[in-house]
């Protein structure tokens, strides 16, 4: 069977609502940050559906023994927020994955060339190959940043099939790059927008999510 990039846009009213709030140019920074946190929470909830490892067990209810399913906490779980904007989604993701380790990755696009450069890398030298990794970044635009993050992770032993990317807006150039390089990878996004303009902004998009989250 040929593997393909999977891109899910969950048709959930909460996700649609917080996306609308985030898109609105009139939304002040404090509410924008809340919207991104909520999107991180609900998109991670959706992404966890077929990704969180579980184990079958049994528990005693007050009335009888019964079969039960628990999260398998022996399997390593990690969240990799791409700084800065990925920190907003991280806050929501952590409410769903409180036991995941957090490895920060600081990437900044050059405003002229749009090439990303790495200014902070807290990834371990090697990951256990079973590690489930969730990457958070609100925007996949030209795809340079997410491709750099994927390279850093796969070089360190992460299986692309165990990665979930959580973003708010994904654009075709980024999805095409990911699809070419990582069939079998899964992306959860609040929406897919059609255009990336000459300045590298997704249209309609969210504007500069990092600046809007941090009020800079």
Supply the minimum distance, in Å, between the C-beta of residue 109 and ligand PRP.
4
88 binds ligand PRP (CB under 6 A): no
Task: Determine if 210 is a binding residue for ligand PRP (CB under 6 A).
Answer: yes
DSSP state of 51: T
Which positions ≥6 away from 48 have C-beta within 8 Å? 96, 97, 164
Task: Name the minimum Å distance from CB 65 to ligand PRP.
Answer: 49
Q: Which of 140, 163, 165, 169 binds ligand PRP (CB under 6 A)?
A: 140
For ligand PRP, the binding residue among 27, 94, 131, 142 (CB under 6 A) is 142
Q: Which two tokens stand for residue 116?
A: 């990303």
- Our finding on whether 143 is near ligand PRP (CB under 6 A) is yes
Q: Is 73 exposed, middle or buried (0-12, 13-18, 19+ CB in 10 A)?
A: exposed
Instruction: Looking at residues 6 to 35 of the shown chain, list those that interact with ligand PRP (rule: CB under 6 A).
Output: none
Spell out the residues 6+ positions from residue 24 whose beta carbon is closer than 8 angstroms to its own. none
Which ranges of 48-156 does DSSP label H, i.e. alpha helix?
A: 86-96, 144-155
What residue ranges bind ligand PRP (CB under 6 A)? 82-85, 107-109, 114, 116, 137-146, 174, 200, 208-210
């Amino acid at each position: 069977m040929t593997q393909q990039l999977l891109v899910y846009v969950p048709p959930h009213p909460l996700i649609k609502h917080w996306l609308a709030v985030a898109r609105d140019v009139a939304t002040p920074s404090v509410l924008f940050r809340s919207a991104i946190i909520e999107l991180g929470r609900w998109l991670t909830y959706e992404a966890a559906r077929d990704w969180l490892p579980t184990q079958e067990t049994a528990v005693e209810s007050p009335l009888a023994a019964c079969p039960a399913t628990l999260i398998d906490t022996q399997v390593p779980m990690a969240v990799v927020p791409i700084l800065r904007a990925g920190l907003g989604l991280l806050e929501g993701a952590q409410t769903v994955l409180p036991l995941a380790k957090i490895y920060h990755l600081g990437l900044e696009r050059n405003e002229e060339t749009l090439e990303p450069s790495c200014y902070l890398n807290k990834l371990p030298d090697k990951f256990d190959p079973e590690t489930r990794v969730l990457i958070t970044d609100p925007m996949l635009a030209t795809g340079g940043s997410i491709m750099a993050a994927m390279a850093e992770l796969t070089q360190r032993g992460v299986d692309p099939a165990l990665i979930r990317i959580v973003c708010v807006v994904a654009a075709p150039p980024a999805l095409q790059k990911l699809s070419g390089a990582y069939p079998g990878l899964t992306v959860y996004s609040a929406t897919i927008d059609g255009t990336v303009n000459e300045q590298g902004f997704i249209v309609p998009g969210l504007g500069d999510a990092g600046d809007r989250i941090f009020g800079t």
